[in-house]
């Protein structure tokens, strides 16, 4: 069988594996959140709070969708015309067009150009956040964060680009197989190292101070059968007023992180409710699930790019001979951008299901739906979330159930548990 035949077979296998993983690992059965409860919950939220949140979300929208459209247009312009290939050549020229310069500098130049052209929209977003009082770090802090994220992306990008184009050179017929394995491996590696190598670039993490709250949280984790070494507090207040918590890392790097803003804004019982949700993610191995599906998706993308990239008309549009050369990198970016837009609603759906399961876990673990609901109300209030967002936006991009869905889930739990 030819390499191309093997690639088609591998693609089929990866699609199947991704389908099986999503059927087995994603909690498709819906936790109860009756619409009547949602409507009742919405009716009980302060009218001016809801109006203010909706005004804020509307103010963000033009920038968000502007960035999306411009990002797509730039990717298509660079990838589906010879402009991108010429940019890669240009970046390699000071180094005599050496392939490593084209691969790394050319690749980074393409990404940087797209970032710069969408920069005005990022600034728009920051100005809206400042106007509504959510951002606390000012323009200089914002710029520093931006430069740090460019630097982190450049390091990870350079490693990926150099690795990828080394493989396409060493194995011109089988690069897709090594590339797929390498992409999957990179996803797993990043899951392990992001919390210890990248997150500290943006925030300082300190163990939660000794006291009744910490004791209560550790006891709850023990009761839940989730070994937690520590609960870390992130100094999120340096850039935002928003409250949040999350779990990241795998095995030895796994941690539960709460924002210092959460400790400041919420009652200890509400913090407990939030951490119970995060323990749900840990207990159900949601980081593993995300990592596994991410790794399968990355491998699938590499094989699909190889197969699509042997399509003559596409190569002619991009003005390249082969998809495996650095000059074709803009074409790869264009294809990945389009695929990302198409996959976004499916990713959001999976994320919402996983989040709803963590909510159900928090309710069962604390047995305290009233506090859970109060916490949801506070989250929406502080973060200026639209408690019941427009349907299309929810389906397109919501990573969590809406506030009224989460409140309704608490009410359904309370009814069932007779509390
Ligand atoms: Zn969550």
Q: What pLDDT, on a 0 to 100 scale, did the predictor assign at position 10?
A: 96
Report if pTM > 0.85.
yes
* 8 A C-beta contact, residue 126 and residue 67: no
Query: For 261-277, what is each residue's pLDDT tens digit?
Result: 999 999 999 999 999 99
> In what helix (H) or strand (E) does residue 410 lie, and over which residues does it extend?
helix 403-417
Contact call for residues 307 and 7 (beta carbons, < 8 A): yes
Give 235 Cα–ligand 1 centroid separation in angstroms: 19
What is the whole-number distance in angstroms between the Cα of residue 83 and the centre of ligand 1? 42
Which protein residues have a CB closer than 5 Å to ligand 1 (ion)? 355, 358
Residue 301 CA: distances (Å) to CA of 181, 298, 306: 11, 5, 9
Ligand 1 mean position, distance from CA 151 (Å): 28
Interatomic CA distance for residues 221 and 157, integer angstroms: 37
- Residue 111's pLDDT is 94
* pLDDT tens string 375-394: 999 999 889 999 999 999 99
| Å from CA of 56 to ligand 1 middle | 23
Residue 358 Cα to ligand 1 midpoint, Å, equals 6
Residue 15: predicted pLDDT: 96
From ligand 1's centre to the CA of 344, what distance in Å? 18
In this predicted structure, what is the pLDDT of residue 1?
Answer: 85
Q: Tell me how far the alpha carbon of residue 248 lies from the centroid of ligand 1, in angstroms.
A: 11
For ligand 1, the distance from its centroid to the CA atom of residue 289, given in whole angstroms, is 13
**Which of 66-75, 245-254, 408-417 comes out lowest in average pLDDT?**
245-254
Distance 388 CA to ligand 1 centre (A): 18
How many whole angstroms separate alpha carbon 385 and alpha carbon 364? 25
- How far is 332 from 165, CA to CA, in rounded Å? 13
Q: If you count DSSP H runs as helices and E runs as strands, how many of each does the chain have, helices first?
A: 18, 4
Q: How far does residue 297's CA lie from ligand 1's centre (Å)?
A: 21
Average pLDDT over residues 281-302: 93
Ligand 1 centre from 57 Cα, in Å?
Answer: 21
Cα 280 to averaged position of ligand 1 atoms, centre (Å): 8
> Is the pLDDT at 126 greater than 90, yes or no?
yes
Using the Cα atoms of residue 179, residue 181, residue 184 and residue 188 in order, give the sign of their dihedral: negative
Expressed in angstroms and rounded, the spacing between residue 361 Cα and the centre of ligand 1 is: 11
Residue 170 Cα to ligand 1 middle (Å): 42
Query: How many CB atoms within 10 Å of residue 161?
Result: 21
10 Å CB burial of residue 409 (0-12, 13-18, 19+) is: buried
Res 419 pLDDT > 70: no
Cα-to-centroid distance, 277 and ligand 1 (Å): 6
How many angstroms separate the alpha carbon of residue 23 from the centre of ligand 1? 20
- From ligand 1's centre to the CA of 365, what distance in Å? 15
Cα of 85 to ligand 1 centre, how many Å? 41
Q: Can you tell me the mean pLDDT for 164-170?
A: 94
Share of the chain above pLDDT 90, in %: 82
pLDDT digits (tens, 9 = 90+) for 304-354: 999 998 899 999 999 999 999 999 999 999 999 999 999 999 999 999 999
Is residue 199 pLDDT above 90, yes or no? no
User: How far, in Å, from the CA of 21 to the mean position of ligand 1?
Assistant: 20
CA of 356 to the centre of ligand 1 (A): 8
Please give the distance, rounded to the nearest whole angstrom, from the Cα atom of residue 355 to the centre of ligand 1: 5
CA of 256 to the centre of ligand 1 (A): 11
* pLDDT-derived band at 229, boundaries 50, 70, 90: confident
Tell me, in angstroms, the distance from the centre of ligand 1 to residue 281's CA. 7
Q: What is the pLDDT of residue 227?
A: 78
What pLDDT sits at residue 198? 87
Q: Is 196's pLDDT higher than 90?
A: no
Note the pLDDT of residue 399: 95
CA angle, residues 281, 194, 16, in degrees to nearest 5: 60
Residue 194 — pLDDT band, cuts 50, 70, 90? confident
Ligand 1 centroid to residue 327 C-alpha, Å: 40
Rounded Cα–Cα distance for residues 377 and 367 (Å): 18
As a whole number, the mean pLDDT across the chain is: 93
C-alpha 108 – ligand 1 centre gap (Å): 33
Contact partners, residue 163, CB within 8 Å, separation at least 6: 182, 186
Give the confidence band of 255 by pLDDT, cuts at 50, 70, 90.
confident
CA of 278 to the centre of ligand 1 (A): 6
Percentage of residues of the chain with pLDDT beyond 70 = 100
pLDDT band at residue 234 under the 50/70/90 scheme:
very high
Q: Which of 297, 274, 292, 293 is nearest to 355 (CA)?
A: 274
- Where residue 210 falls (left for φ over 0; alpha for ψ -120 to 50; beta otherwise) is beta
How far apart are the CA of 165 and the centre of ligand 1, in A? 37
- Residue 179 pLDDT greater than 70, yes or no: yes
């Amino acid at each position: 069988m030819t390499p191309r035949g093997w690639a088609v077979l591998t693609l089929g296998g990866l699609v199947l594996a991704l389908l099986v993983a999503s059927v087995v690992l994603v909690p498709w059965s819906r936790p109860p959140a009756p619409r009547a409860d949602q409507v009742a919950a919405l009716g009980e939220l302060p009218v001016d709070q809801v109006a203010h949140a909706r005004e804020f979300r509307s103010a963000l929208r033009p920038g968000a969708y502007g960035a999306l459209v411009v990002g797509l247009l730039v990717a298509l312009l660079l990838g589906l015309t010879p402009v991108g290939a010429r940019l890669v050549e240009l970046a390699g020229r000071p180094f005599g067009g050496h392939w490593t310069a084209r691969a790394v500098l050319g690749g980074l130049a393409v990404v940087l150009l797209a970032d710069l052209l969408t920069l005005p929209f990022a600034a728009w977003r920051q100005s809206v956040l400042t106007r509504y009082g959510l951002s606390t770090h000012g323009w200089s802090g914002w710029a520093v964060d931006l430069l740090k994220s460019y630097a982190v992306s450049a390091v990870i990008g350079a490693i990926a680009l150099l690795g990828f184009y080394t493989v396409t050179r060493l194995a011109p017929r089988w690069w897709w197989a090594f590339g797929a394995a390498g992409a999957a491996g990179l996803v797993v590696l990043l899951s392990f190292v992001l919390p210890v190598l990248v997150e500290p670039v943006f925030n300082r993490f300190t163990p939660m101070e000794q006291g009744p709250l910490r004791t209560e949280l550790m006891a709850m984790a023990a009761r839940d059968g989730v070994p937690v070494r520590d609960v870390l507090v992130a100094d999120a207040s340096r850039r935002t007023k928003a409250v949040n918590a999350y779990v990241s890392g795998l095995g030895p790097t796994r941690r539960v992180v709460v924002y210092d803003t959460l400790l400041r804004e919420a009652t200890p019982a509400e913090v407990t409710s939030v951490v119970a949700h995060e323990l749900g993610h840990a207990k159900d191995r949601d980081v593993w699930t995300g990592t596994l599906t991410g790794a399968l998706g990355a491998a699938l993308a590499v094989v699909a790019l190889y197969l699509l990239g042997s399509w003559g008309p596409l190569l002619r549009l991009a003005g390249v001979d082969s998809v495996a050369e650095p000059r074709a990198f803009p074409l790869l970016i264009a294809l990945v951008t389009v695929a990302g837009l198409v996959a976004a609603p499916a990713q959001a759906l999976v994320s919402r299901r996983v989040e709803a399961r963590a909510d159900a876990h928090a309710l069962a673990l604390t047995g305290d739906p009233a506090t859970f609901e109060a916490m949801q109300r506070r989250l929406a209030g502080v973060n200026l979330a639209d408690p019941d967002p427009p349907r299309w936006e929810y389906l397109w991009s919501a990573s969590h159930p809406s506030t009224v869905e989460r409140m309704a889930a608490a009410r359904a739990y309370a009814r069932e548990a007779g509390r």
